[in-house]
Structure 1
Amino acid sequence: MNQRTTLITGTTQGMGRALALDLASRGGTVLLHGRNRARLDAVAAEARAASADVTVRTYLADLADLDQVHAMAERIRAAEPYLDGLINNAVAGGGSHPLTRELSRQGYELRFATNHLAPYALTRDLLPLLTASAPARVVNVASMGQEAIDFDDVMLERDYESLRAYCRSKLAMIMATFELAADLEGTGVTVNALHPAHLMDTDGVRAYGLTPVTGTDEGVRPTVRLLLDPELAATTGRYFDRFTDAPAHEQAYDAEARKRLMRLTHELIV
């Protein structure tokens, strides 16, 4: 169940760090992304110590800046001969100031930009490498927290609340998962999304004032399963609640809503 080369975003804390250490312990090549150099180097050192058979390389970028997302993808395409696993794990959670509307470098609502636009742009940019390395798998770490997107106010300029923005961004990620999976049919690249675990013990959960109820290891197991389980080699375009193939929010199955979202997404990520 080893992947040759896997990229994980958001590895400097929480479930991303736990994923990095889990996959590193299995050997192969693990590419770690973060936005803080010191913290990224610290996790890379932990990952290298996890196995004598692992190769670890790091990539620095702030996913709230699409220019940095595209630049990181370009560096990866230039440096890496293979990429057969991508876990889009990095996240902007509810934060500690839920009524403060924050913006990305390009001026988009921060959670929509970081949780939807960035992983979609990164995946699109890495498709030449993923398809050349096929069979390959993309795993999008979404959430059971989902709320319908208001296409008259996608950037939540009215009645802003950060958890609402988070839930809309995660539904957008799931909708994009379904669309991308359909686009990639027959290429050998699968794309799935999941809710990994409920209220994991992470800085993001605590920052919003919520009480963690599970450890990050609970989220690692279903995420790694989607990446490596041979029985899921042909599974694509699905949403999982942990280990269960489950229904997402009803808007995810609205073909017109998905088309509207993807038209907007392609306009914004250039």
Structure 2
Amino acid sequence: MHVDNPGAVVVTGATDGVGRGLAMRLAADGTDLIVHGRSAEKGRELVAELRAAGAGRVAYELADFASLTEISALADRLLGYERISVLVNNAGIGVELERQESRDGHELTFQVDYLAAYLLSCRLAPLLAASAPARIVNVTSAGQAPIDFDDVMLRRGWDGVQAYCQAKLAQIMLTIDLAEALRPAGVSVNSLHPASYMPTKIVTHLYTPRSPLAEGVENVRRLVQDPLPPGETGLYLNRDAVAEPLAQALDPAARARLRELSERLTGVALEGEDERAGQGA
């Protein structure tokens, strides 16, 4: 489905959990929405519900984040929209019980939870800059673990918690680098842990829920819609308060290693506004 959607909010992983709750909340405000998922049937149901809830224009984009080809194709389609004011990188998987690989041969959690956000954000950066003031919101976690750059894909000793937590830390590292690159273009980039152990499908198979879904939805919505103080970019928030991420996220050398790895795996570079202008992008 394709419509020119001025100032649209893109929500990945919108057919379940926080993504669905956020889309429904934004629909109630008449927001123009582009929602993503990997089920055509769930997408049709979601679009009907969003329209009934009062959303402006609504489009559904289908893509499986286990495939870099499908993520790239999604980016191509999104670049065909007139304006996108917010990209919410929400799609992800939780703590898996066994090691799985994406269609590209990468550890699945790292690809779905991190590489997809990297690829989409880098590809959509020019459109977001052209739509400025614009925002990127990365839905991450307080569960964070350092990345072992000698075994990022965890082939030597896979652990589901490590896989999840290192991917979430990578999202925060991406947030810091994107914020620096896109600040001159008027695009703010922030990340947050929305709430702990909400009753979503990535939680309930292993853990007992503690926080209501509405808490997490409201914390994400705040970053999507509320006015941001000048310079509020590159931040990590725990719920609604600015917090300090794990130390590796603040290490420029570690972030440089992650950028190099991400570019090598996806074929797409994270470039600043000045670099893109110099290339005629």
Q: TM-score range by the shorter chain?
A: over 0.9
2:254 is matched with: 257
Q: How does 1:216-255 map to 2 (within 5 A)?
A: 216-232=213-229, 234-255=231-252
Q: What is the CA distance between 1:28 and its match in structure 2?
A: 2.8
- Secondary structure of 1:86's counterpart equals strand
Q: Which of 73, 84, 89 is the equivalent residue of 1:71? A: 73
- Secondary structure of 1:6's counterpart equals strand
Q: How does 1:29-68 map to 2 (within 5 A)?
A: 29-51=32-54, 54-68=56-70
CA distance in 2, matches of 1:145, 1:253: 16
Q: Any gaps of 5 or more consecutive residues in structure 2?
A: 1-5, 268-281
2:264 is matched with: 267
1:181-219 Cα offsets, whole Å, 9 max, x none, are: 111121011111000000000011012x10011221110
Runs of 4+ in 1 over 6 A off after TM superposition: none
Counterpart residue identity of residue 204, structure 1? I
1:137 is matched with: 135
Counterpart residue identity of residue 163, structure 1? V
Q: Any gaps of 5 or more consecutive residues in structure 1?
A: none
Q: How does 1:141-156 map to 2 (within 5 A)?
A: 141-156=139-154
CA distance in 2, matches of 1:32, 1:229: 20
CA distance in 2, matches of 1:233, 1:81: 26
Answer whether contact 1:190 1:235 (CA < 8 A) is retained.
yes
Q: Which of 179, 182, 189 is the equivalent residue of 1:181? A: 179
CA distance in 2, matches of 1:236, 1:89: 18
Please, what is the CA RMSD of the aligned residues? 1.2
Q: Which of 12, 16, 19 is the equivalent residue of 2:15? A: 12
CA distance in 2, matches of 1:232, 1:220: 21
Aligned residues: 262
Answer whether contact 1:226 1:232 (CA < 8 A) is retained.
no
CA distance in 1, matches of 2:262, 2:156: 20
Aligned sequence identity (%): 44
Counterpart residue identity of residue 144, structure 1? A
Q: Which of 204, 208, 211 is the equivalent residue of 1:211? A: 208
Answer whether contact 2:106 2:153 (CA < 8 A) is retained.
yes
1:82 is matched with: 83
Provide the TM-score with structure 2 as the length reference: 0.91
2:278 is matched with: none
CA spacing shift, 1:110–1:161, aligned 2, 3 Å: same
Answer whether contact 2:7 2:131 (CA < 8 A) is retained.
no
CA spacing shift, 1:231–1:127, aligned 2, 3 Å: closer
- Secondary structure of 1:210's counterpart equals coil
Q: What is the CA distance between 1:165 and its match in structure 2?
A: 0.2
Counterpart residue identity of residue 11, structure 1? A
Q: What is the CA distance between 1:233 and its match in structure 2?
A: 5.8
